[in-house]
Amino acid sequence: MSLIPDNEILSPAVAEIEAVSEHAPGEDAAKKRRLGFGFWVSVIWLVLIVGAAVLAPYLSIKSPTVNFIIPGERPPYPPSSDHWFGTDQDARDLFSRTIYGARVSLTVGFSAIAFGMAVGGTMGLLAGYFRGKVDQVISFLFLTLLSFPALVLAILITSLLDRTLFTISFVIGVLSIAPVGRVARATTISFADREFVLAARSLGASHKRIIVRELLPNVLIPMGAFALLGVAVAIVAEGSLAFLGLSVSQQPTWGTIILTASQNSRDLQNAFYMAGFPIAVLFATVVSLNFAGDKLRSYFDVKEISL
């Protein structure tokens, strides 16, 4: 019989494995709870682009509609100290058009998701709380909306209405009702049977009070994380409508700027910056929204199945 205790005859490799197994779960959880450097880089970019879009009329940048013709030279003009992103084929400053285009594209993105959260979020909250017939009816409406091809539905609504900023935001907002509503429903179901909700019911609280005071604050957190992902999708959707000539008219958007640049392939081959710079800004914004939204989703532990 060995006189050495069992915990001392373990090999160094086994001891190391046990030590890692004891600390790894906590360390992994801590890592998942960190937002990370990339998140803050994304936030800084979003603050800069949103700030530039909001303050565009007050910034010392060129007009997005003026034709800066240089006598004896045919536009488009390459990037220079006067035109940081160059000009398009009509000699309009691309930097200012990209900034002013952000005003429309970001407004469409945030307005559409705000509409989707107001309508779809409310419907999902009611479906997840009341269950039964209410859940069946609302879930059927969500499935009906998801059954329509999104692009076809957007073309149908846009063709019936004027192509204003409100119309485009409304169209994309309608498309966001079902996805946002399903997230709200799934999140509400996960909280509806929690102790604080059961306690409120046992104390005789009304349905309205339980929904507004108990469930809504908890549902808004994962909804906010999902909203950033939705804004990115809405911005891309606006660009898709622009390529079909169905986006906001008489105002520059990122989609229309890229479309205008790509209409003349000869100019685009010789001056790739006409589409390159707006695409780069669009790409950086969408990636930042996706990355920040995904990090917030992980931070607040919003399950993938809910999305």
CB 129 within 8 A of CB 205: no
Average pLDDT over residues 126-150: 92
Which residue would you say has higher pLDDT here, 22 or 255?
255
* Tens-place pLDDT, residues 51-62: 999 999 898 899
pLDDT band of residue 305 (cuts 50, 70, 90) is: very low
Query: Is 7 a domain residue?
Result: no
Instruction: Find the range with the poorest average confidence among 78-82, 119-123, 192-196, 299-303.
Output: 299-303
CB 175 within 8 A of CB 153: yes
> Is the pLDDT assigned to residue 225 strictly greater than 90?
no
- Distance between CA atoms of residues 175 and 115, nearest Å: 10
Query: Is 59 a domain residue?
Result: yes
* Tens-place pLDDT, residues 212-221: 988 998 888 8
CATH of the domain at 278: 1.10.3720.10
Average pLDDT over residues 76-99: 91
> Is the pLDDT assigned to residue 32 strictly greater than 80?
no
- Distance between CA atoms of residues 56 and 34, nearest Å: 34
- Distance between CA atoms of residues 69 and 50, nearest Å: 30
- Which residues sit opposite 93 in a β-bridge? 87
At 169, list the tokens: 């935001």
- Distance between CA atoms of residues 138 and 152, nearest Å: 22
Structurally, the chain folds into a number of domains equal to 1
CB 188 within 8 A of CB 219: yes
- Distance between CA atoms of residues 307 and 305, nearest Å: 5
Q: What is the pTM of this model?
A: 0.79
Which amino acid is it at 7? Answer: N
* Tens-place pLDDT, residues 244-297: 888 887 788 998 888 888 777 677 778 888 889 999 999 999 999 999 988 887
At 128, list the tokens: 């997840």
- DSSP class of 94: H
pLDDT at 52: 93
| Averaged confidence pLDDT in the chain | 83
Query: Is 302 a domain residue?
Result: yes
Query: Is 220 a domain residue?
Result: yes
> Is the pLDDT assigned to residue 203 strictly greater than 70?
yes
At 301, list the tokens: 């532990």
The domain containing residue 294 runs over which residues?
36-306
Query: Is 256 a domain residue?
Result: yes
Query: Is 197 a domain residue?
Result: yes
Query: Is 159 a domain residue?
Result: yes
